[in-house]
Amino acid sequence: MNVLSWTRRGLFAAAAGAALATGLALTPGTALAQTPPGVLIVGQIAEPKSLDPAAVTAQNDFRIVVNMYEGLVQYKSGTLEVEPSLAESWDVSEDGTEYTFKLREGVTFHDGTPFNAEAVKFNFDRMLDEEHPYHNTGPFPLAFFFSAITETQVVDEYTVKLVLNEPYAPLLSNLAYPTGLLVSPTAVAEYGEDYGRNPVGTGPFQFAEWRSNERVVVERYADYWGEPAEAEAVVFRPITDANTRVAEMLSGGIDVMVEVPPTALSEFQGEDYNIVEQAGPHVWFLILNAKEGPFADKRVRQAANYAINKEALVNDVLEGTAEVAAGPIPPAFAWAYNEELDPYPYDPEKARELIEEAGAEGAELTFYVTEGGSGMLDPIPMGTAIQADLNAVGLDVKIETYEWNTFLGEVNPGLEGKADMAEMAWMTNDPDTLPFLALRTAAFPSEGGFNSGYYSNPEVDALLDKARVETDQEERAKLYKEMQEIVQEDAPWVFVANWKQNAVTSDRVENLVLEPSFLLQLEDVVKN
């Protein structure tokens, strides 16, 4: 009996000890679920790679840098049109090769460095000139957005001129993209290749702290030239697991959550949370191999567009977090979007007829599906739903699934000899980018482009080349609208969905607005 009583005593002691320890740990925990007022805590999907705007490429990193930095121009709230930011005005030369910017005076970087034409020149030279002393602070993967710039000239202290090798209409929207945000030259000189962890800009928030995989903190910049930010500080937390992100939101550990999984949205119905949504410049599509196999026939490509029930995809698989796409340019580019185009309707009968006409009944198709990846939404369930729709009209689709980086390695070099169709999604900053890089004859993979399905139509090529050098926006819009009509008819892709970015906030957060650019501007957001 001795043993029994001892162990019992031991167990009691252990249990009491454990209870005491938990109690100790819990006592200051009454305010556990309360995040402090004035401090906005944002649940991000991953750790940022760097906070150097010229070095980052991911949406996730853009969400932080746009709050610390400013560029010459920015997107006007609620649109994808460009408006002044650090440049008060600009002139474009007659031939479209010289852009002269008049800079805002009296702006300083967070470290006290004055903002002037020299600082602008430093930024573009750092990215573009391989001989620049600080070019080694890169690499700068998206520097090609500005590859048309041959020289940045300092005209006087507050005037700067960008000289291009040829007219390039997307330049202004590229300048509004995070890659065009301006960094402090003194800070780059001071920190060298560690600059990405010691960022200094001119924006409403200044960098305070970065603890690896825990948080990035930015604080209100007191000497900001414009309206000071509402929140005292913003904390960005990387939470890679979507379920954990939802749990943190439900338990009050974060105030704002971005990229809410479609299936979790129902958790946030009700008064304690606000759901915000915004369609953005995103297209989810299927590349069809127009070079060989059944999809070389336009009728079969159109048939695929008719056969796939896109309504069901966006409403059931994606739970309403996307809209049905009509063509290659997303409606978020309101000025360039052709309103008259309707998406291909779901019409399996018509699809069957077209397939019969083309003699492609029972054709075997290889379909590349990815497991995940930037902007790919829910690629596997979407892929299987598409497979089912196509099999229902008499095709025989086989899926091959790849991890994202492997997938890109298979798809980007072109589908020839490997597959008939592949999933793909793009998020862009200008209506030019996607069609120019993925629909022109000169953009075949062998030429270094992304036209992995080998679509080729001289009319489209001509329209896109013309639009790229046209500096008048209305004229450009006309060219793009015409291009969309032709491309929709030719159906080089199955146009599936335009993603609506979403976010959930707790009821203590006010004024959170999502932008069509997908950039998360937080200076007006209030946290009570």
Partner 1 sequence: MGNYILKRLISAIPVLLGITIIVFLIMAMIPGDPATAILGSYATPENVEKLNRDLGLDKPLVTRYFIWLGNMLTGDFGRSFSLNRPVIDEILERFNATLILAGTSWLLCAIFGILAGVISASRQYGFADKAITFVVLIGISVPSFFLGMMMILLFAVNLRWLPASGMFAIYGGGDLPDLLRHLAMPAVALAVVATGVVARLSRSAMLEVLRQDYIRTARAKGVGERRVLYGHALRAAMVSIIPVLGIQAGFVLSGSVFIEIVFQWPGVGRMLVDAILTRDILLVQGGVVFVAACYVFFNICVDVAQSLLDPRIKT
Considering only residues 249 through 268, tell me which ones interact with partner 1, judged by CB under 8 A.
250-254
| Minimum separation from the CB atom of position 57 to partner 1 (A) | 6
| Minimum separation from the CB atom of position 303 to partner 1 (A) | 28
User: Does residue 157 contact residue 129 with C-beta atoms inside 8 Å?
Assistant: no
Q: Which residues does 474 contact at the CB level (< 8 Å), separation at least 6?
A: none
C-alpha–C-alpha distance, residues 478 and 495, integer Å: 21
Residue with Cβ nearer partner 1 (35 or 289):
35
Structure tokens at 287: 């590349």
Site for partner 1 (CB under 8 A): which residue of 106, 362, 417, 448? 448
Q: In 3D, which of 83, 51, 189, 209 has the Cα closest to residue 132? A: 189
Please list every residue from 65 through 94 that binds partner 1, using CB under 8 A.
none
**359 scored as a contact of partner 1 (CB under 8 A):** no
**406 scored as a contact of partner 1 (CB under 8 A):** yes
Q: Which stretch binds partner 1 (CB under 8 A): 36-44, 105-113, 311-319, 461-469?
A: 36-44
**380 scored as a contact of partner 1 (CB under 8 A):** no
CA separation, residue 205 to residues 120, 125, 254, 384 (Å)? 20, 25, 19, 44
Site for partner 1 (CB under 8 A): which residue of 73, 200, 218, 235? 235
**153 scored as a contact of partner 1 (CB under 8 A):** no
| Minimum separation from the CB atom of position 4 to partner 1 (A) | 8
Site for partner 1 (CB under 8 A): which residue of 154, 334, 399, 408? 408
Q: Which stretch binds partner 1 (CB under 8 A): 105-113, 247-255, 509-517, 519-527?
A: 247-255
Q: How many helices (H) and strands (E) does the chain have?
A: 14, 20
Site for partner 1 (CB under 8 A): which residue of 16, 46, 155, 388? 46
**240 scored as a contact of partner 1 (CB under 8 A):** yes
Site for partner 1 (CB under 8 A): which residue of 75, 205, 368, 450? 450
Site for partner 1 (CB under 8 A): which residue of 445, 465, 486, 524? 445
Site for partner 1 (CB under 8 A): which residue of 22, 89, 150, 528? 22
Residue with Cβ nearer partner 1 (14 or 312):
14
Q: Which stretch binds partner 1 (CB under 8 A): 157-165, 392-400, 410-418, 464-472?
A: 410-418
| Minimum separation from the CB atom of position 467 to partner 1 (A) | 20
Cβ atoms < 10 Å from Cβ of 58: 14
User: Burial, 350: exposed, middle or buried (Cβ in 10 Å; 0-12, 13-18, 19+)?
Assistant: middle
How many residues interact with partner 1 (rule CB under 8 A)?
74
User: Does residue 280 contact residue 332 with C-beta atoms inside 8 Å?
Assistant: yes
Site for partner 1 (CB under 8 A): which residue of 50, 206, 488, 521? 50
Cβ atoms < 10 Å from Cβ of 239: 22
Any idea what the Cα angle at residue 77 is, between residues 76 and 78, rounded to 5°?
110
**57 scored as a contact of partner 1 (CB under 8 A):** yes
**16 scored as a contact of partner 1 (CB under 8 A):** no
Q: Which stretch binds partner 1 (CB under 8 A): 80-88, 105-113, 447-455, 498-506?
A: 447-455
| Minimum separation from the CB atom of position 412 to partner 1 (A) | 6
87 conformational bin, left if phi > 0, alpha if psi -120 to 50, beta if neither: beta
**26 scored as a contact of partner 1 (CB under 8 A):** yes
Q: In 3D, which of 189, 239, 173, 79 has the Cα closest to residue 434? A: 173
**241 scored as a contact of partner 1 (CB under 8 A):** yes
Any idea what the Cα angle at residue 226 is, between residues 225 and 231, rounded to 5°?
110
Q: What is the contact mask toward partner 1 in residues 181 to 220, using x (rule: CB under 8 A)?
A: ------------xx-xx--------------xxxx-----
Go through the chain and tell me how many residues it has: 528
**17 scored as a contact of partner 1 (CB under 8 A):** no
Q: What are phi and psi of 526, to 5 degrees?
A: -105, 135
| Minimum separation from the CB atom of position 202 to partner 1 (A) | 22
Q: Which residues does 101 contact at the CB level (< 8 Å), separation at least 6?
A: 72, 87, 89, 90, 120, 159, 160, 161, 162
Q: Which stretch binds partner 1 (CB under 8 A): 48-56, 167-175, 378-386, 392-400?
A: 48-56
Site for partner 1 (CB under 8 A): which residue of 17, 29, 112, 345? 29
User: Does residue 134 contact residue 186 with C-beta atoms inside 8 Å?
Assistant: no
Please list every residue from 457 through 516 that binds partner 1, using CB under 8 A.
none
Site for partner 1 (CB under 8 A): which residue of 17, 20, 36, 475? 36
C-alpha–C-alpha distance, residues 106 and 271, integer Å: 44
**Dihedral (Cα; 462, 467, 472, 476), 10-degree rounding:** 100
C-alpha–C-alpha distance, residues 441 and 449, integer Å: 9
**141 scored as a contact of partner 1 (CB under 8 A):** yes
